[in-house]
Amino acid sequence: MKKYLMSFAAALCMLSQSVLAAPTGLYDFTAVWADGQFSGQFHYDGAAPFHITSIKGTLADALQSTSIDKITNPDLGDPDAAPASFFSNTKPELAEFAGHDAGFYLTLRDLGASLTLDLAGANGLFDWSGLDETRYISDSALVSFSINQANAADVPEPATALLLFSGMAGMLARRRVKARRA
């Protein structure tokens, strides 16, 4: 009986750890700024240093429509600030300009069961693809966003997993008691 209780306690401990972080996997993401919008997906891994490990989607703004597929994790200099990541297009011909001409910052927050953006962090849109220095977008303000786990129906809720584990532990304990009586 002691083994089963220890196994049950270990399972609950592991489950509680998974409840404290948003599920790893693909998330659908849309964002609207004053001067443009993005629609696509990113891969989230709470164990990775900057959490978003890949991104793919389309940024359409007042200057261009471009594919976003590159992640840069800059040090913004404030150790107390939430870490922001910069997502941009890949343009090898612009290597002298870090290889991109458009992108946006996101400051992601893990709420445990879901993800959101830290609205006090960096979340601006930038596009320097204009023909001259008077046509560019610099730190366009975020207006709205949506983050939803892709294929969420395939991932069991933490409460469902807890119910499953506790039911299995109860069945094992009952079987053990019956075996002793027989």
Q: Give the pLDDT score at 18.
A: 47
b/e 107-143 (16+ beta carbons within 10 angstroms → b): bbbeeeeebebeeebbbbbbbbbeeeeeebbeebebe
Q: Give the pLDDT score at 95.
A: 66
Rounded distance between C-alpha atoms, residue 33 and residue 41, angstroms: 17
Average pLDDT over residues 31-46: 95
Give 87-107 pLDDT, tens digit per residue.
999 887 776 667 788 999 999
Record the pTM: 0.68
User: What residue type is assigned to position 9 of the chain?
Assistant: A
Residue bearing the bigger pLDDT, 94 or 152: 94
Q: CA torsion sign, 65 to 69 to 70 to 71?
A: positive
Q: Give the pLDDT score at 17.
A: 45
Give 6-33 pLDDT, tens digit per residue.
565 555 555 444 456 789 999 999 999 9
